[in-house]
Amino acid sequence: MTNHPAVQEWLRNASLEAAVEVGNLSDTEASARAYSFMREQLAEKFPSLLDAIHELTHGHGTVDINWRPLAPQFSSLFLTFPPHDSIDISIPLETVNPDAISAAADRMIEALPKGLPFPKHPHTVDAMLTSSSIAVHARVEDRNEGGQRRVRSFMLPENGQKKAERLPRDTFENRVFNAIEEARLPT
């Protein structure tokens, strides 16, 4: 999102305007006001972007602003899934079937850094799998088990957990499918 020329231009201008707007306020108050100013400007300037993100994430994701008042050229937009703050990729599931969930697992693996990780420093990718009924936080981990032996496992962290049960791919896919199916059922 941030790389689009119109967004880059808006970020530069809005960042500077926000800094001017709050010039004489205390740091905390200035940051809060500038952030609010930029959120309002974003909604006015790019409603179609916000609508597209809402649609692609099935209403689970939002666009947020990383405002850098001292270096406005480094301000950026990013996708967030409250309360999860460390999502690397979003994977919308238009249809929920085993093939779609398997394809989502493939996308997570493709997003892992290339190359063998250092021992005890696994590569990880956190993803948000979204359907119309639920958003599922998923993680893939690529570990070096010594030598050239690589082990990949999947996890379903809850409430932002750093550690979660490591699952083989087929168990992971079944649990994701079951979680989405359960969320679809009327209560």
Above 70 in pLDDT, residue 24?
no
Encode 96-134: b = buried (16+ Cβ within 10 Å), e = exposed. Answer: beeebbeebbeebeebbeeeebeeeebbbbbbbbbbeeb
Encode pLDDT of 164-179 as tens digits: 889 999 999 999 998 8
Q: How confident is the model at residue 111, as a pLDDT?
A: 95
Beta carbons within 8 Å of 33's beta carbon, 6+ residues apart = 18, 21, 22, 25
CB neighbourhood size of 139 (10 A): 23
Encode pLDDT of 122-149 as tens digits: 999 999 999 888 889 999 999 998 877 8
The reported pTM is 0.78
**Confidence tier at 163 by pLDDT (50, 70, 90):** confident
Average pLDDT over residues 96-120: 93
Beta strands 123-130; 89-92: pairing state: parallel
